[in-house]
Amino acid sequence: MDDSVTFAQDPAELNTVLDLIKVREKIKISYDPPNRNFVTTISKNNFFYASKNGGILSIDIASGKQNTIYKHYSNIDAGLASDNKHIYFIDNLGYVVAISLNGSLEWKSFVGEVFSPPLSIQSSLIIRTSNQKIISLNKFDGSLNWTYQGTKSPLTLRSWGELNYLNDTLYIGAPSGKLLALNYEKGTLLWEISYSQPKGATDLDRSNDTTSKPLVIDQIIYAISSKGNISAISSIDGVVLWSRPLSSFVGMINDAENLFITHNSGSIYCLNKDTGKVLWRNSELLGRDLSKGLIISDIILYTDFEGYLHFINKKNGKIIGRTKLSDSLYLNPILLSENSLFISSLEGDIYNITISIFDDINSDSTNSNKDNEQIIKSDNLDNQSSDESILDSIIFWD
């Protein structure tokens, strides 16, 4: 897929909401527009930001002072990752590049075409190429540790799905609804499973990749495919603990008890992470190209293609606030503290904002419009034979 915004349906019109969230803009910085798949990062006291044309910007979190620390000679296709010594990215020529925090070039190493950000772990940098090769590099000089060639698919979505890591194991979403686990030090395969079977007669119909980052919670891996299922999988042996029809390209987030999934249609689902039971569903933002969300205390922040920030009560799925900072889609925001975050738009504007939340967001007064009253309750949604997650897939995606 390219970086253009496409919709499965016409975007839903926005209804008036009772605004229980106040947003204050502290800093706004205009910079070169980024590519949509960039992941901005924080290291020490600085926030780092990459533009598509090769510029790396450092912003002092306390003062907001900005400084362009590095200008690469070619475009950047994937990044950023960082540790306490280096910043890493991949350019459009297929090189992994490491620079110091003050912008000096440390090393570069050729790996091939890459669209997902690298993963920095201990002394290694893990990269997934577009042809499903997993590469481990030494972070200090760029030398090769090991490679693993995953199964190639006739048609793979061009995505920026991230890898995840826990207890010396890498967890990697793969084409055709697969998830695999690799030993971090040696790159050997521990297990591989198909948790979401492809369907359809053509390669296009059967494209069912894991395009988002698998979640690792305790001993369970949660993975969701772009056109299929969400599943809970044992990290020990790859056994599927529960699975249900639900699709997402951008992925999901979690708190201690629940998963929050952005469906391809724009519906937002809350599932109990232990059982997969649907607790609530919000369908007010259909077709608005929603982000995967960011949990801030008892609310979830979602962004859309028109530059709106939508605030949703995570306990019941009701929209309790909305604000607009720009006219374009946002990159995934980064939380700095309990109520402060950085967020950047595709136009290149970077915002540092603070959020104030009213104490009564869980009161009955949050029922501000009829659409909120139509959010389907868990007993009706989870037990009916025609599950709403299937309905979303039929109408808005498949």
CATH number, domain at 61?
Answer: 2.40.128.630
The total number of structural domains that make up the chain: 1
> Which pair of structure tokens corresponds to residue 160?
């920026």
Instruction: Flag whether 347 is in a domain.
Output: no
Q: Which among 104, 46, 56, 107 is positioned nearest to 80, based on CA atoms?
A: 56
The pTM score is 0.87
Strand partners, 169: 166, 183
Buried b (16+ CB within 10 A) or exposed e, 323-357: bebbeebbbbbbbeeeeebbbbbbebbbbbbebeb
Q: What is the pLDDT of residues 72-120, one digit of tens each?
A: 999 999 889 998 889 999 999 999 999 999 999 999 999 999 988 899 9
Longest CA pairwise span in the chain (Å): 60
Range with the poorest average pLDDT among 82-91, 207-216, 226-235, 385-394: 385-394
At 154, is the secondary structure helix, strand, or coil?
Answer: coil
Instruction: Flag whether 170 is in a domain.
Output: no
Instruction: Flag whether 14 is in a domain.
Output: no
Task: Give CA–CA dist 338/357, Å, rounded.
Answer: 11
Instruction: Flag whether 77 is in a domain.
Output: yes
Instruction: Flag whether 140 is in a domain.
Output: yes
Instruction: Flag whether 135 is in a domain.
Output: yes
pLDDT at 372: 40
Q: What angle do CA 349, 345, 104 make, to 5 degrees?
A: 65
At 66, is the secondary structure helix, strand, or coil?
Answer: strand
Instruction: Flag whether 257 is in a domain.
Output: no
Q: What angle do CA 279, 282, 286 make, to 5 degrees?
A: 145
Q: For residue 137, give every residue at least 6 positions away whose Cβ sits within 8 Å of its Cβ, in sequence order, or none.
A: 96, 109, 111, 124, 125, 127, 143, 144, 145
* 8-state DSSP, 110: E
Strand-pair category, 21-30 with 41-43: unpaired
In terms of residue numbers, what domain contains 128?
38-158
Range with the poorest average pLDDT among 100-104, 218-222, 380-384: 380-384
Q: What angle do CA 297, 220, 384 make, to 5 degrees?
A: 80
Q: For residue 231, give every residue at least 6 positions away whose Cβ sits within 8 Å of its Cβ, in sequence order, or none.
A: 195, 196, 222, 223, 224, 240, 241, 242, 243, 244
Task: Give CA–CA dist 226/125, Å, rounded.
Answer: 26
Q: Which residue has the higher pLDDT, 15 or 105?
A: 105
Section 48-58 average pLDDT: 90
Task: Give CA–CA dist 320/299, Å, rounded.
Answer: 9
With contact defined as beta carbons under 8 Å apart, do 342 and 41 qualify?
no
pLDDT band (50, 70, 90) for residue 161:
low
Instruction: Flag whether 374 is in a domain.
Output: no
